Amino acid sequence: MSRDRKKLASDSGSGIVGFVLVAPLLVSVFIAIAQIAMLVADKSVLDSAAAIGARTASAADATNEQGRSAVLNVLASRGSGFKPEKIIIKQVSNHGFIFVSVSVTRVVEIPFVGHRIFMTGEARAIDEAFL
């Protein structure tokens, strides 16, 4: 048996080896990007819910309970699994103005990492009842 030197020196198969080495890295990057996008979307929903709750509770004839209800309606639009850990609505005085401050906190699990983080959306609006 003689070996053919041309076959031994060829580059056939090197592309597959390179792909096998790079593919897991690419998949990991795509998974990380998808998880970051989901976290940004969750944060956006929390901020929107807090802003709508603050605007609702700050109306002249509204109560904090109506603001809480508005927050829960916005969160419900995201799906039944999107539940807040806590919702804090309070009146805050700042520079002679009374503001309605809303804080919505939710526990978010990052599946592939296995971590749980607290994510908070906050907003405030001038309370019309004190104008």
DSSP category for residue 24: H
**pTM for this prediction:** 0.80
Q: What is the pLDDT of residues 16-42, one digit of tens each?
A: 888 889 999 999 999 999 989 989 999
CA–CA dist 12, 110 (Å, integer): 41
Q: What is the DSSP string of 26-91?
A: HHHHHHHHHHHHHHHHHHHHHHHHHHHHHHHHTSTT--HHHHHHHHHHHHHTT-TT---SEEEEEE
Taking 70 as the pLDDT cut, the residues of the chain under it are 1-11
